[in-house]
Structure 1
Amino acid sequence: MIAKSLLVLYFVIASAVSATQCLSRRCLADNLIDKQLYSAPQPPDCFINVNLTAIQYETLSFNLQTLQFSSHIKVYMEWTDPDLAWTDSQYNFTEVLLPFTYIWLPNLTVNNAIYTAVHPLSKDILVTRDGTVNYAIQMYITVVCDMNLFSYPFVEDTCIVAINGWNRSSCGVKLQYGKITTVGGQRGEWQTLDVNFCGGAQNYLQVTLYLNPFNALVSLVLPTALIMVVDLVSFALPLNGERNAFKIKLVFSFTMFLLILSKQVPQGGPCSPLIYYHFCFCLIVLVVSLLVSMMLSQLARTGSIWPGRPRKQSGSGSSMAQQDNAFHQNDTEINCSKVNSVNLMTEVTSIQKISSFVNNMDKEIMEKKRKQDYAKSWDNFCFITYLFLDIIYMLCVFAIFKTQQCSSNKLSF
């Protein structure tokens, strides 16, 4: 009778234990969800240590007009929540999956971001027996980066991505940064050279970016250089309207070129690009070259750079119209002398008049040639000056490019 009573008691206890013990991970997950642990863990020091075990960084784009820098970051993190732990005597499982909406999660922010979008990589969170939680998110962020564009298109500078916890007071989240890797760093025009963690008063990621200069060189620098070379070669054209028309076309072509490519040129920012001054210099030189060519054309035609009537030259008997009239008059007199058989003295006089007319024509031709030679000598001087100016300009640009430095405070946030 006693043995039978003990056997019944054993089965009652065993059934009660089996009714309270979970036999599946889903049962364990439901029990953890029923705890409703939506608030943050509250350790004695009031700080939750969140370990960012891995950070995967990728540069998406860089807007030169607004200096806005966009990137994609995957963050793998883990922390310990003691209220999510269990023992072997309670549950015979080492890990379990929980929906990410039923427990507390650290809220990562970017202090200097103007746009942030955070999405979980998975809707499930892995929780181990000791209460360690493993969670991963992906962040799409946009920050304003004061990139040093002084030497554009040869640009290599750093941008700041300040990833931090939601609270920086005496109670909150403390982040510990782990391994940082880059993805797709060599794709596109902007290349990611390196990503480093910098700690101290402010914790942030320092991203080193490099701009491939090929596109800007082909579309901005090379056309301006070729236009300047063409303007230099145009000094070989004669000093007439043909050269002036050609130089006017060059000025208009350069102006239209700047208007079309204005959207590709970066804005000033804290360090104004040197290419702005390059475009300004090229345009000024083209306009000055056109004005000098017009003045030299006036000098070759009239002997003076001032507009107005041509200057009368000493030794010339009369204008071209008067010489033509004299020629017709002499021709008439010669014909009349032949018809009327005038005396020899009249013929000698006519011959003298013809000789005088021919001498005046020679003087006019010599005077015209003298004007052209004088203008040509000034033209050669302007060509040499223009050539030396271009050479000195290139040397100055190279020296400024190598020696001048510009920096900005990227931690002013």
Structure 2
Amino acid sequence: MKRPAFLLVILFVGCVRAEPNCTERRCLAQMLINKEYYSQPQYENCTLPIEVPFIEYQTLAVDTKNLRLNSRLVAAVEWLDPALAWDMSVYKFDRVVLPVKKIWTPQLHVTNGITTSMKHASDDLVVFSNGRVVHRVIINAEVNCEVNLFNYPFAGDECPVAIQTFSTGDCGTGLRLGDVRMIDGSHGDWQTDFATLKKQRDDRNYITVGLSIKYSNPFITLLLPSILIVLADLVSFALPLRGGERNTFKVTLALSFTMFLNILNNELPGDSQCSPIIRTHFCICLILLVLSMLVSMMLTGVAKDGLLIFNCFSKCSARRDKGNSDENKDEEIKADISVVHLDVSEDIQMLRKVVKFLEALDTKKQKHAKYEKIANRGDKIFFWFYFFVASSYITAMTCVMVKYKCKVNHFDFWY
């Protein structure tokens, strides 16, 4: 009897000593920390599923010049780690808070991100009694997105933000994504229209981000001034050809247009798969302005002294006039030799000179009137030609900017 009773006492004392002395929540947390499980939970198939119930997506900025999309993602992540489970009959708590640095946590990154940084939303996380771990992470990524700017400033496109975790062959982690919530859709000249979760394969998950330009600012600062400058150039045909006012005004318009070219060069990228057609628009507008300026200068020269086209004709007529004057002079000399007028007074000679001067002046005025008539006729013809070409071009270019769509392959980072 003594021996069995002694054994029972030893067994009872051992069980009491085996039970933890502290069963508080903090003691439970310390017990889990002391396990020092810093490696990924291992299963038979070597793949740990990571649940992502929701992702909060936010576009921070869109770099139009370098075609970059800066994004911020807040993801809720959950996974099961059986090694962190505990017996609720000993520790009567269904959850506990642990330091995030004391256990293993998954790493999320953006596949097509030029730079990606993941940080923990908090220094702590929650562990449940069955080993389920709940945590939040913040991902900041700069994505190389070939934004379709062909229709700028009416451009809009969709950029993928691919989210992946570590995986090598049959081992690693696998994502199971849930809902995507978009916050703060407005940022600068760009607007985030939507953010939708899609996938190409089971291991290729991405968020499609719909972007569009708020066209009011670039339209007012770039497109509208180009149209107004061409319109002002058309109205400048109302100025007279002579005097130089029209030519000075047209030169001022051409110089002013180069300022908008510099603004455009600073705003848009140098080249892309779908280069902005507004570059071609500005180039054609500049060609129209320079052409109008050159034609106006040429017609001003024609109106003044028959420059260029009529210069050769004026030289020929001058030679004929010179020949005629020489003949008349010879005839006068002969007449003076043959007949001597003794009673010719100086008043009559002065009167002859005045008559010759008036005749020469009248001839010159007739020439200038002829040149001005030809120049004005050419000016009217060029005005209507310029009006038709400019109007047709602006209408066609506006339709192309609004309706034409250029396609860009955004998934070339996946091979």
TM-score computed with the length of structure 2 as normaliser: 0.86
**1:66: Cα distance to partner?**
0.9
Partner of 1:339: none
- 8 Å CA contact retained: 1:84, 1:131: yes
Partner of 1:244: 247
Q: Which amino acid aligns with 2:212?
A: Y
Partner of 2:183: 183
Partner of 2:57: 57
Partner of 1:305: 308
What is the aligned residue count?
390
Partner of 1:264: 267
Q: Distance in 1 between matches of 2:146 and 2:38?
A: 39
Deviations 1:74-121 (A, max 9, x none): 000111111111122231111111111111111111111111111111
1:375 is the counterpart of 2:345: no
**Sequence identity percentage:** 35
**1:210: Cα distance to partner?**
1.4
1:282 is the counterpart of 2:280: no
Deviations 1:152-194 (A, max 9, x none): 0112111111101111521111111112101111343221111
1:94 is the counterpart of 2:108: no
Partner of 1:331: none
Partner of 1:75: 75
Partner of 2:125: 125
Of 225, 228, 234 in structure 1, the residue corresponding to residue 227 of structure 2 is 225
Q: Which deviates the most, 34-43 or 250-259?
A: 250-259
Q: Distance in 2 between matches of 1:250 and 1:398?
A: 22
Q: Distance in 1 between matches of 2:317 and 2:266?
A: 59
- 8 Å CA contact retained: 2:45, 2:170: no
- 8 Å CA contact retained: 2:150, 2:406: yes
Q: Which deviates the most, 98-107 or 295-304?
A: 295-304
Q: Distance in 1 between matches of 2:46 and 2:60?
A: 37
Q: 1:315 to 1:292 in 2, by over 3 A?
A: closer
Of 234, 237, 255 in structure 2, the residue corresponding to residue 235 of structure 1 is 237
**1:376: Cα distance to partner?**
0.5
RMSD, aligned α-carbons: 3.0
- 8 Å CA contact retained: 1:299, 1:305: yes
Deviations 1:298-348 (A, max 9, x none): 1112224259788247599968xx9xxx9xxxxxxxxxxxxxxx8589877
Gaps of at least 5 residues in structure 2 are: 330-341
What are the equivalent positions in structure 2 for 1:295-334 lying under 5 Å apart? Answer: 295-305=298-308, 311-312=314-315, 314=317
Q: Distance in 1 between matches of 2:403 and 2:220?
A: 24
Partner of 2:217: 215
Q: Which amino acid aligns with 1:199?
A: K
Q: Secondary structure at the match of 1:162?
A: strand
Q: 1:154 to 1:239 in 2, by over 3 A?
A: same
- 8 Å CA contact retained: 2:74, 2:136: yes
**1:267: Cα distance to partner?**
3.3
